[in-house]
Structures are given as C-alpha cells and as structure tokens.
Amino acid sequence: MDYFEYKDGRLFCEDADITDIAGAVGTPFYLYSKRTLLRHCDIIHRALGEVEHLTCYSVKANSNLAVLALLAAQGIGADVVSGGELFRALKAGFAPEKIVYSGVGKTEAEIEYGLGQNILTFNVESIPELELINDIAGTMGKLAPVALRVNPDIDPKTHPYIATGLRENKFGIPHAQALEGFRLAAGMRNLRVIGVDAHIGSQITELDPFVESAKKLCELVETLKDDGISIEQIDIGGGLGIRYADEIPPEPSEWAGAIVPVLKGMGCRIIFEPGRSLVGNAGILVTKVLYIKRSGDKVFVVVDAGMNDLIRPALYGSQHEIRPVIRIDSEETVVDIVGPVCESADFFAKDRTIPLPGPGDLLAIMGAGAYGFTMSSNYNSRPRCPEVLVEGSTFKVVRERENYEDLIRGEHILVD
Ligand SMILES: *Cc1c(COP(=O)(O)O)cnc(C)c1O
C-alpha cells in the first residue's frame, strides 16, 4: 500500500498535487512519501513483533539524509556497506549500537572508522577480512564485534545480478568452510564472535529461499554451540521483493509468518536488513515528455529523465509501472519510453501500451524509491535530479538539483 493516488484524474502524493510540485521544482525529480515510509516501517515491525529483533535498514536502497533521519527516528538500525554510508547513517541519527556493517571489500580506513564509532557488528565476508579486523582492533585497543556472513548456496530465484547467496557469487564464506572460519575467529584475541549472517539476494518473491536460509543459519548456530561457540545474534539479511508490475511478492506478514517460527526458539536476537521493501514503493520518478518521435512502425516517447537517473530498466531489464500524472483520454498506443542519454539501453519501457501522451505531459515512473537515486550518475554530464519529500499536503526539496558547476567540482585543467 502506498499513498500515490488519483484524485479527479490528477496523481497525488498523499495530499500534494504532483503537477504543482513539478511546477515548483522542475523535472525530472524523485518524489518520496513520508506517510508510505512510516507505514512500511510499521508493517515490518509489527510482522516481526513475536521475536526479539532489530531491523537494520539497508542504507544503499535509498540513502537520502531526510529519508534516513525519518527511519532512524522510528528507532530502527542501519545496515551499511561503506564508510560513506556509515557517515550518512550517523549524520542522520542512527545509533551506532544499531548499525551493522556488511560488504566484501572493507578497507583498513573503513574498519577503523566503524571500530572507532563502536558499531554493533561487522558482518565479515572472508578469513583475510577477519585477520585484518583483528589486527586493527588490536592496534586500537578494541574488541571488535563480528558476525560471519555465510554463503548458504541457495537460489533466490531472482535476477542474476541481484542473487548473492549462490556458490558462484562473491559474497560470504562458503557454508562448508563456515565452521573453520568461526573457529579461527573465536581464537583471535581482539574479536568477539557474536553472530551468524546471510543475505541471499534481492527482489525475492518466494518464501522458500528465505525459509531455507533461516534453517541453514539455525543449523549452523547449533553446530557452533556443540563446538563451544555461542552465538547471540542471527542476521538473515534483506531481500523481500515488492510489486513493480505483475509480481506477487509475499506480504511482510506472510514472510515473517514463514521465517519467525524457524528462528523463534533459538534464543538469539534476530537482525533483518530490509531495503527495497521499506522504500521501493514510497518513491517515484517524475519526468516530462519532450517529444513524440515516430520512426517506421515505432513510436518513441522521449522524456527528460534518463538511465543516469534510474538505471534499473537498463541494468536488470526491470519493469516499472508508468502512469500519466494527469489522466489523458488519448488513443492507446504501443510505445517505447526512452531518455535522452546516448545509449540504446536508455529506456524506461519497451512496447508498452499507454494512452499516447503529448509534449509537456508528466509521467510518473512508479516504484522508484529503492535503488533509484542511489544508483544515479552524471553520465552524459547530466546534473543529478532533486529529491523531494512529501508530508501531507506539503513538500520539501531534500536534495537540490545539481547544476553545471557541481559537474566539474574538483576537476583541474593542466596548464604547462
Ligand atoms: C542490499 C542488501 C540488503 C537489502 O536488500 P533489499 O533487497 O533491498 O532488501 C540487505 N543486506 C545486505 C548485506 C545487502 O547487500
């Protein structure tokens, strides 16, 4: 459920008329709904109510400071994958003791940063990383809290680029080596082994892979207990899918209903790392039609947003629902909706049947709240677009549109 709805044929975000917002901030822009964000947060929290848990929002899905601050104020934690994300999370008010740090390539400086801030856990992805964290913690006179991320070799049945828990993926320690990894970690002086962790992929729309992963983690915790290593925290990652087009993902309550019974009796605190399911349907990308271009049989709707603003269709072939911001009554036409970037992958929809818009009309690309702005770039020297947050009938620009000067900041022309 979200709060993007038509009123008298005009698309609203909560009680704000999107056409008015476009008039004020120009196009393209990202638009987020506060009410939707809070609702999703609440739904997930209530779904998991039965177990002692900590929700650690995956910052990479949408890392706008205003969005992060809203989520932090709900008392949840954060899952970060870089020093930059840790910086953002702290700035936005997440408590360090609710921050977990994941990722296969943490640098020395990033580990020092996390240790210095006393974060909850490092989710460690390899033996060499364990050794490095142990060394740095020793130098800093700290005891580093670690969980080992295992790769459970489970097919999440999602796009190959967002599957992370298969043997051939770079993530985690192979399940077969997990015990050895934990023994090593337990023997390191400057580490405190507190958890097991897995994250098998993203946009997962079936329950089985989650259940399987949870079971494997529980089995591992039992094995470790027999080995004298006691685990207090099980992190089962994120990955719950959302509806973009015709997918039917499990409701958060169904998802929780499937995994909570597996995890409940373990006597461990459970960590969840949802990203997309919290923010995906809380945001849209609003763009303006520039031209209707006919070539041969094809009709191209050329819009002012491009793959640099939202790369998901180009990268994953993902389907986003696209709605007119003001309903139109024109002829249903098969079109490609494309951006201005000089790449054939620069499209938002192919062979989509929509009422044919005209130049100047606004389109809303739905489900753009996750992996939208955070994956945007300046490709083709396009300033990145603004992010706007709606609360009720009011809106605020929470990240300004970049200008041409922003594009060249930090660059130097060599003169001899
Ligand atoms: C990306 C990521 C998540 C969030 O995934 P979603 O599919 O957005 O829920 C959680 N944990 C880790 C380690 C990740 O890399």
Whether 242 and 203 have beta carbons less than 8 Å apart is answered as yes
Whether 298 and 334 have beta carbons less than 8 Å apart is answered as no
Is 60 touching ligand 1 by the criterion CB < 6 Å?
yes
What CATH number belongs to 34-276?
3.20.20.10
CA 58, 62, 64, 66: dihedral to nearest 10 degrees?
Answer: -70
Catalytic residue among 56, 268, 342, 385: 342
Q: Average pLDDT for residues 12-23, to the nearest whole number? A: 98
Q: What is the rounded distance in angstroms from the CA atom of residue 155 to the CA atom of residue 160?
A: 10
Q: pLDDT class for 158, splitting at 50, 70, 90?
A: confident
342 catalytic per annotation: yes
Whether 297 and 261 have beta carbons less than 8 Å apart is answered as no
Three-class DSSP category at 44: helix
Q: Which range has the worst mean pLDDT, 151-165, 316-330, 335-349, 383-397?
A: 151-165
Q: What is the pLDDT of residue 179?
A: 94
Q: What is the pLDDT of residue 123?
A: 98
Is 64 touching ligand 1 by the criterion CB < 6 Å?
no
Centre of ligand 1 from the C-alpha of residue 240, in Å: 9
What's 4-32+280-407's CATH class? mainly beta
Q: What is the pLDDT of residue 209?
A: 96
Q: Which atom of ligand 1 is nearest to the CA of 239?
A: 7
Backbone Cα Rg of the chain: 23
Q: Which atom of ligand 1 is nearest to the CA of 274?
A: 9
pLDDT digits (tens, 9 = 90+) for 102-157: 999 999 999 999 999 999 999 999 999 999 999 999 999 999 999 999 999 998 88
Q: Which atom of ligand 1 is nearest to the CA of 197?
A: 13
Q: What is the pLDDT of residue 413?
A: 96
The one-letter amino acid at 339: G
> Mutation test of ligand 1: which of 151, 157, 273 has the most ligand atoms closer than 8 Å to its C-beta?
273
Q: Which range has the worst mean pLDDT, 4-13, 113-122, 131-140, 247-256?
A: 247-256
> Mutation test of ligand 1: which of 99, 197, 202, 213 has the most ligand atoms closer than 8 Å to its C-beta?
202
In the chain, domain spans = 4-32+280-407, 34-276
Is 237 touching ligand 1 by the criterion CB < 6 Å?
yes
Distance of CA 205 to the CA centre of its chain: 16
Tell whether pTM > 0.85. yes
Q: What is the pLDDT of residue 166?
A: 85
Q: What is the rounded distance in angstroms from the CA atom of residue 289 to the CA atom of residue 333?
A: 15
Residues, the chain: 416
Q: For the chain, what is the mean pLDDT?
A: 96
Centre of ligand 1 from the C-alpha of residue 144, in Å: 23
Is 276 touching ligand 1 by the criterion CB < 6 Å?
yes
Centre of ligand 1 from the C-alpha of residue 89, in Å: 15
pLDDT digits (tens, 9 = 90+) for 347-377: 999 999 999 999 999 999 999 999 999 999 9
Whether 397 and 410 have beta carbons less than 8 Å apart is answered as no
Query: Looking at the predicted structure, is the pLDDT value of residue 10 above 90?
Result: yes
Centre of ligand 1 from the C-alpha of residue 409, in Å: 31
Is 238 touching ligand 1 by the criterion CB < 6 Å?
yes
Q: What is the rounded distance in angstroms from the CA atom of residue 181 to the CA atom of residue 201?
A: 22
Centre of ligand 1 from the C-alpha of residue 40, in Å: 16
Question: CA separation (Å) from 169 to 119, 125, 164, 310, 315?
Answer: 27, 12, 6, 25, 18
User: What percent of the chain has pLDDT above 70?
Assistant: 100
Q: What is the rounded distance in angstroms from the CA atom of residue 305 to the CA atom of residue 55?
A: 33
Q: Which of 39, 107, 44 is nearest to 77 (CA)?
A: 44
Q: What is the pLDDT of residue 160?
A: 86
> Mutation test of ligand 1: which of 79, 120, 173 has the most ligand atoms closer than 8 Å to its C-beta?
79
Is 79 touching ligand 1 by the criterion CB < 6 Å?
yes
Is 165 touching ligand 1 by the criterion CB < 6 Å?
no
Q: Which atom of ligand 1 is nearest to the CA of 277?
A: 9
Q: What is the rounded distance in angstroms from the CA atom of residue 273 to the CA atom of residue 79?
A: 6
Is 40 touching ligand 1 by the criterion CB < 6 Å?
no
The one-letter amino acid at 73: A
Whether 389 and 395 have beta carbons less than 8 Å apart is answered as yes
Q: pLDDT class for 161, splitting at 50, 70, 90?
A: confident
Centre of ligand 1 from the C-alpha of residue 324, in Å: 31
Q: What is the pLDDT of residue 167?
A: 83
Q: Which atom of ligand 1 is nearest to the CA of 275?
A: 8
pLDDT digits (tens, 9 = 90+) for 38-64: 999 999 989 988 889 999 999 999 999
Centre of ligand 1 from the C-alpha of residue 78, in Å: 11
Q: What is the rounded distance in angstroms from the CA atom of residue 174 to the CA atom of residue 166?
A: 9
- DSSP per position, 250-283: PPHHHHHHHHHHHHHTT-SEEEE--SHHHHGGGE
